[in-house]
Amino acid sequence: MSFVFTPSPTVSVPVLGSPSRFPVHRIYCVGRNYEEHAKEMGFTGREPPFFFLKPADAIVVVDAGQTGNMPYPSQTKNFHHEIELVVAIGKGGKNIRAADALSHIYGYAVGLDMTRRDLQNDMKKQGRPWCIGKAFDHSAPIGPITPAAQAGDVMNAAIFVQVNGQDRQRSNVNKLIWNIAETIEHLSAAWELQPGDLIYTGTPEGVAAVVAGDTLVGGVGGLGELHIRVTDQG
C-alpha cells in the first residue's frame, strides 16, 4: 500500500514494567462527573453522563520520573487544569454492561484534561460546539499506564493536583458521580469501544488557571505522579 505522503506515527503511551507501548485509538472525556466540580461550574445533581472527544495526537506523554513540557496554548487567557483518572481500554465492545465493564480495562493512568476555559465558555454562550476549548494541541497530558492487576484499589484512590507545590485539586475517585463501570456502560451504548481507547473519567472541584512557568504535579493513588511544566507559546 502506498500513501500520498508519509502517515503520522501511531500515538502511544508507555506501560509500566513493559517494553511494549499502548497504541491510542480515541480519547473520550466525561464531563462534570464529580458533584462538587459540577457545582463550581454552575450545575447540581446527578445528571446523565455526557462525553466529548480529544484527538489522539493531543496526547503529551510524560515518562515516569520525568517532567514533561506543555506549551501555553494560543488564543486563551484562561488556561485551566483538570486532573483525571484515565482508563485504558484493552478489549473493545458495544453495549457493555456495567457488570462486565472491568474486564474490558487494560490499565489506568494519571491524566490532565487541559482546557481553554474562556473559549469553552464563549462557545457555550453561543450554543456552539466547544471543541476549541477542549480538543486542541497538547491538551491531554498523560503518564505511563499501569496494568489493571498492578493498580491497586483505583476505585477508592486519592486524586490530586498541585501547582508550584500548592494544592489545587484533592479528592477521591470514589466521589465519581458515574463510576468507571457505569461510565463504560453509557459510553459503549453510544460508541463501539476499541482496544486503545482512553477514557478521561472526569475531574473533581478546584479547577483553576495556570500560566507559563508553572509546574503541575498530579497523582492518583497507586498510579504514581504526572509532572509537567507550562512553557511559553511555541
CATH number assigned to the domain comprising residue 173: 3.90.850.10
pLDDT tens for 154-176 read 999 999 999 999 999 999 999 99
Per the domain annotation, does 5 fall within a domain?
A: no
Domain annotation covers residue 6 = no
- Portion of the chain with pLDDT greater than 90, in percent: 90
Q: What pLDDT is recorded for position 99?
A: 98
pLDDT tens-place string over residues 77-96: 999 999 999 999 999 999 99
7 in a structural domain: no
Task: Tell me, yes or no, whether 2 lies in a domain.
Answer: no
Nearest CA among 67, 115, 12, 78 for reference residue 218: 67
The cell numbers describing 149, all together, are: 492487576
Residue ranges making up the domain that contains 28: 12-231
Provide the number of structural domains found in the chain.
1
From 122, 126, 138, 3, select the one nearest 57 (Cα to Cα): 138
3 lies in some domain: no
Side chain identity, residue 122: D
Write out pLDDT tens, residues 2-29.
Answer: 999 999 999 999 999 999 999 999 999 9
- Whether residue 48 is contained in a domain is answered as yes
